Structure 1
Amino acid sequence: MVELVLRCVELVPPGRVASYGTIAGICGIGPREVGSVMRHYSHGLPWWRITNHAGDFGGDLLQRALPHWEEEGIRVKPNGLGCRYADYAVDADELAARWREATRDLPRVQPARRRAAGPDASATAR
């Protein structure tokens, strides 16, 4: 899962942003899992291109992202919390297609199937 997320993040082009949810949808996981991967493994990656759904950052991340955004032409919106996501969002379909190509060499782990509750659940599911 980690490598799938990291490769997706690497594919977000300069001057564009993607939300945790966009990355999650492409990778087949949840946005919080993307956040966890980013928290632990984003060193050396363009982490400043991954925002929340509104284009915002929490904590001091915006201040750390500003030099990168200025270099890439991403402007801060009037409320000062991030960028206008609609203006800078990556094309999710294009990103997904590029990600599929970039991850062909990686194994895919299917999410665990939920089992029905109760000892007789399999009998009622038939």
Structure 2
Amino acid sequence: MPSIVDDVLAAVEALPAGTVVSYSDVAELVGTSPRRVGTIMARAGQEVDWWRVTSVRGTLPAALMARARQHWDEEGLGGGVAMLRDHAPDPIEWENTWQLLRLRV
């Protein structure tokens, strides 16, 4: 059975290039809190495309913003709240992909 860490990382891994979600979105999908998602991302997020998960304002901690912006530019995401609105994944496709990835664990 996957752990909450496995679930969060699988949820991020399930995000297609060119999409972005908030910590809250991941939390809702996996059944935990946004704070817990943030903690997991801080500790293990380097294993996945971490720049695809932001605060609800479309930002990340200051220490990560320069690197995140490079990735956002490469994927045409922009930044800020508009990025979350304009580049959200299809929720059904995201959940289905996440469920498949969870089976690997």
TM-score > 0.5 by shorter chain = yes
Which structure is larger by alpha-carbon Rg, 1 or 2?
Answer: 1
Higher relative contact order (CA 8 A, sep 6+): 2
Write the deviation string for residues 30-82 of structure 1: whole angstroms up to 9, x where unpaired. 11110111000011311000011232223232212011111111113xxxxx3
C-alpha deviation, 1:89, in angstroms: 1.5
Matches within 5 A, 1:107-122: none
Matched pairs, number: 101
Which residue identity lines up with residue 9 of structure 1 in the other structure?
A: V
C-alpha deviation, 1:4, in angstroms: 0.8
Maintained 8 Å contact 2:56/2:81: no
Equivalent residue in structure 2 for 1:47, among 50, 55, 78: 50
Tell me which stretches of 4 or more aligned residues in structure 1 moved more than 3 Å: none
Equivalent residue in structure 2 for 1:10, among 4, 9, 13: 13
TM-score under structure 1 length normalisation = 0.72
C-alpha deviation, 1:105, in angstroms: 4.8
Distance 1:41 1:93 in 2: 25
Q: Which residue of 2 aligns with 1:63?
A: 66
Query: Any idea what SS the aligned residue of 1:42 has?
Result: helix
Pairing 1:97–2:100 present: no
Maintained 8 Å contact 1:75/1:83: no
Q: Which runs of 5+ in 2 are unaligned?
A: none
Q: Which runs of 5+ in 1 are unaligned?
A: 77-81, 107-126
